[in-house]
């Protein structure tokens, strides 16, 4: 009981220990809250460099893997791979979101005519109703997934563009 109220002189904040989580959260928040532009890759990478300077390799690796420059493309690639294994590649559609890849897929002759579309359950009245940053991240994921599928159809040697791919 006496130790509870005892004043010790060792109540100083240890900045080396406390700074790493702050840098990690700040780097990820800056990454996801920034507009989708190429210069924003510097935000999470800057926090990774600072964490490495503090010798916090695990925190630096977590920030790198959770950054939108790694996590979103990795998730889109994994989803495309699973759909390809199942033999059911589908383009994602989000209500109230403009996805330029859908317009490209409709106008592209390399995209199979029997391609399926899947409306993601997002928005009011659905399973998820994300707002702001989470919604933007999901829209980016869907757009990247659709672009990966279209690029895969362009590179498919047995697809509709097989003759034009060899001619180029």
For residue 109, the cross-strand partners are none
Q: Is the model more confident about 24 or about 115?
A: 24
Report helix, strand or coil for 165: helix
* Among 6-20, 28-42, 111-125, 140-154, the least confident range: 6-20
Are the C-beta atoms of 72 and 144 separated by less than 8 Å? yes
The Cα 87–Cα 84 span in angstroms is 5
Tokens at 80, concatenated: 């495309």
Please state the rounded mean pLDDT for residues 12-35. 86
The Cα 67–Cα 74 span in angstroms is 11
* Whole-prediction pTM: 0.74
User: Percent of the chain beyond pLDDT 70?
Assistant: 88
Are the C-beta atoms of 80 and 148 separated by less than 8 Å? yes
The Cα 59–Cα 21 span in angstroms is 8
Question: Would the pLDDT of 36 be above 80?
Answer: no
Question: Would the pLDDT of 167 be above 60?
Answer: no
Q: What element of type H or E holds 86?
A: helix 71-86
88 pLDDT band (50/70/90 cuts)?
confident
């Amino acid at each position: 009981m006496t130790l509870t109220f005892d004043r010790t002189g060792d109540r100083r904040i240890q900045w080396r220990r406390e700074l790493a989580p702050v840098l990690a959260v700040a780097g990820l928040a800056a990454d996801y809250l920034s507009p989708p532009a190429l210069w924003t890759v510097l935000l999470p990478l800057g926090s990774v460099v600072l964490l490495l300077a503090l010798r916090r390799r695990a925190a630096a690796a977590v920030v790198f893997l959770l950054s939108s420059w790694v996590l979103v493309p990795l998730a889109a690639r994994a989803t495309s791979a699973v759909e390809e294994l199942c033999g059911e590649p589908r383009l994602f559609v989000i209500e109230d979101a403009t996805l330029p890849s859908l317009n490209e897929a409709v106008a592209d002759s390399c995209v199979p005519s029997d391609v399926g579309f899947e409306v993601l359950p997002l928005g009011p009245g659905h399973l998820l109703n994300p707002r702001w940053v989470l919604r933007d991240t999901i829209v980016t994921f869907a757009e990247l997934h659709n672009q990966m599928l279209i690029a895969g159809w362009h590179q498919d040697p047995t697809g509709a563009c097989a003759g034009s791919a060899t001619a180029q």
